[in-house]
Chain A
Amino acid sequence: MSEVIVVTSGKGGVGKTTTSANLGAGLAVAGKRVAVVDADIGLRNLDVVLGLENRVVYNLIDVIEGNCRLKNALIKDKRYENLYLLPAAQTRDKDAVSPEQMQKLCENLKEEFDYVILDCPAGIEQGFKNAIAGADKAIVVTTPEVSAVRDADRIIGLLEANELKNPQLILNRIRADMVKRGDMMSLEDVTEILAIKTLGIVPDDESIVVSSNRGEPAVTDENSKAGQAYRNITQRIIGNNVPLLELEDNEKFMDKLKKLFRFGN
């Protein structure tokens, strides 16, 4: 059965687009037919994160307005069989689409794909309402910061009010060393506040910057810790039970040094 999953956050800059790109690529590598849809009309970004910016011809608005057929607008990713991108329009704004039109589009995509990943714009306005209209499930991305968690809480309320019950959490950019010394909220802290189920945690990782520089999703990089986190999340979406990623402790070396000192005394 096909599923439309919307990736939301409320606050901007917490990693919605990176998450959408990595989940899309991850699911495709796992053998699923996937369409990633950039629902951020006017602020197109999923194409660059996926490294497909040079291949954009038609966009979501063209499909909705009937300027082209859906299959003409879908960009096939040559690196990963099964992965397709429907880019956002860059020159229009979010009011160019209605929730009903998005619903129809999602229905059409579901006929062709196992998973449809919708990259939702930041905010709670029309763009958000459009993006969630056709979704079956929602993912809420947040970072362990007060502003991001507060906005995530607002988004969870709005999702539930729009019949998207039980959204799942991805806690992004977590740093084990900071959590350990009590200077960053832990997964437990965040889930206690938001009271939703955890889909996964993603460590703060330089490889994410490198991968978006190159337009190659980290999920396919065997050496990337964040990539591993996204591979785990992908498996959970498919329905496999994978334990949460063990966060690497940046202080390990220092700890060893301290222990050595204690023995010396």
Chain B
Amino acid sequence: MLDFFGLFSNKRQSSKVAVDRLKLVLVHDRVNCSTQVLEMLKTDIIRVISNYMEIDEEELDIKITQTESEDKKGSVPMLYANIPIKSMHKNQG
């Protein structure tokens, strides 16, 4: 049976919102990775990659999220990095 009043509201069920928010916050809690550590990691990644190519540091996005584990038995933490390349360094090799 369709929820009659639900048709008029595009609000998601608050329990589903709670589950999603919890899943995300627990990914961070469980890996125990502070923002400070993440910042340091980011700086290091930029430094290494900059040796080889020019990257867009403004648009750089590094975060810890979750992904389904390979055995499909739940989710595992994942380091996600989206690093736009501006140009390859010319003086390579």
Do the two chains bind? yes
Binds B, one of A35-43, A89-97, A127-135, A178-186: A178-186
Question: Which B residue sits closest to A157, measured CB to CB?
Answer: B30
Q: Is A193 an interface residue (CB 8 A)?
A: yes
A149 to B13, Cβ gap below 8 A? no
A146 to B15, CA, bound (A): 10
Q: A173-206: which residues lie under 8 A (CB-CB) from chain B?
A: 179, 181-186, 189, 192-193, 195
Q: A154-B29, A195-B74 are in contact. Are A183 and B15 (CB under 8 A)?
A: yes
> Complex formed: what's the CA distance from A184 to B15 in Å?
5
**A149 & B22 in contact (Cβ 8 Å cutoff):** yes
Bound Cα distance from A169 to B26, whole angstroms: 17
Assess whether A153 is interfacial by the CB under 8 Å rule: yes
How far is A146 from B23 in the complex, measured between Cα atoms in Å? 10
Interface residues of A in 185-244 (CB under 8 A from B): 185-186, 189, 192-193, 195
Give A195 to B69 CA distance when docked, in angstroms: 14
* Residues of B within 8 A of A (CB-CB), count: 14
Interface string of A139-174 (1 = CB under 8 A from B): 000001110011001100100000000000000000
Given known A150-B26, A195-B74, contact A183–B19 (CB-CB < 8 A): no
Q: How many residues of A contact B (CB 8 A)?
A: 19
Q: Which residues of B contact A192 (CB under 8 A)?
A: 19
Contact B29 A193 (CB under 8 A): no
Residues of B1-47 at the interface with A, using a CB-CB cut-off of 8 Å, are 13-16, 18-19, 21-23, 25-26, 29-30
The contact of A182 among B16, B21, B26, B29, by CB within 8 Å, is: B16
Interface of chain B residues 62 through 79 with chain A (CB within 8 A): 74
A161 to chain B, nearest CB (A): 11
CA A193 to CA B30, docked complex, whole Å = 12
Q: Cα distance A73–B12 when bound, in Å?
A: 54
Q: Which of B13, B21, B26 contacts A183 (CB 8 A)?
A: B13
- Contacting residues, chain B, for A144 (C-beta < 8 A): 15
Q: Flag if A150 contacts B25 (CB, 8 Å).
A: yes
A-B contact pairs, 8 of them (CB 8 A): A146-B18, A150-B22, A154-B29, A183-B15, A184-B15, A185-B15, A189-B19, A193-B22
List B residues at the A interface (Cβ < 8 Å): 13-16, 18-19, 21-23, 25-26, 29-30, 74
Chain A residues close to B by CB (< 8 Å): 144-146, 149-150, 153-154, 157, 179, 181-186, 189, 192-193, 195
Known: A150-B29, A189-B18. 4 other contacts (CB 8 A): A153-B29, A185-B18, A185-B19, A186-B15
